[in-house]
Amino acid sequence: MNTVRRGAAALAAAAVVLGTGAAFPAAAAPSPTPSTGTLPAGLYGTKDPTYDGVWRQSLAFLAQRGTGFQPADQAVGWLLGQQCEDGSFASYRADVSKPCDEKTMRDTNATAVAVQALRAVRGQAAAPSAIDKAVKAGSDWLRTVQNKDGGWGYGVGGPSDANSTSVVIGALAAIGVRPGSFTSAEGRSPYDALLTFALPCSDKEGAGAFAYQPDKTGKLLANADATAAATLAGLGKSVVATKASPQQPPACTDLSKPTVGRAALNGAAYLSKALAKTGHLTLPPMPGATDTTEQPDIGNTADAVVALAAAGATKEAEPALTWLEKNSVAWAKEGGPAAYAQLILAARSTETDPRRFGTTDLVEQLNATGPAPKAPDTSASSTDDESGFDVWWIIGIGTLLAVGIGFFVSGRKK
- 219 burial type by CB count under 10 A (0-12 exposed, 13-18 middle, 19+ buried): exposed
Q: How far apart are CA 391 and CA 107, in angstroms?
A: 27
Q: How far apart are CA 23 and CA 79, in angstroms?
A: 20
CB environment 376-393: b (16+ within 10 A), e (fewer): ebeeeeeeebbbbbbebb
Tell me: the pLDDT tens digits for 221-274?
Answer: 999 999 999 999 999 999 999 999 999 999 999 999 999 999 999 999 999 999
Mean pLDDT along residues 178-192: 95
Tell me: the pLDDT tens digits for 352-366?
Answer: 999 999 999 999 999
Mean pLDDT along residues 15-25: 37
In this predicted structure, the answer to whether residue 380 has a pLDDT above a threshold of 80 is no
Q: What angle do CA 142, 345, 110 make, to 5 degrees?
A: 25
In this predicted structure, the answer to whether residue 58 has a pLDDT above a threshold of 90 is yes
Q: How far apart are CA 395 and CA 168, in angstroms?
A: 15
C-alpha closest to that of 166 among 267, 213, 236: 236
Q: How far apart are CA 158 and CA 412, in angstroms?
A: 32
CB environment 8-25: b (16+ within 10 A), e (fewer): bbbbbbbbbbbbbbbbbb
In this predicted structure, the answer to whether residue 140 has a pLDDT above a threshold of 50 is yes
Structure confidence at residue 376 as a pLDDT band (50, 70, 90): confident
In this predicted structure, the answer to whether residue 328 has a pLDDT above a threshold of 50 is yes
Structural domains present in the chain: 53-396 (1.50.10.20)
Q: Could you tell me the pTM of the whole model? A: 0.85
Tell me: the pLDDT tens digits for 93-105?
Answer: 999 999 999 999 9
DSSP structural state of residue 250 = -
Number of other residues whose CB lies within 10 A of the CB of residue 193:
26
Q: Which of these ranges, 4-13, 195-204, 404-413, has the smallest mean pLDDT?
A: 404-413
Structure confidence at residue 30 as a pLDDT band (50, 70, 90): very low
Sequence-distant (≥ 6) Cβ neighbours of residue 380 within 8 angstroms: none
pLDDT for res 377: 66
Structure confidence at residue 287 as a pLDDT band (50, 70, 90): confident
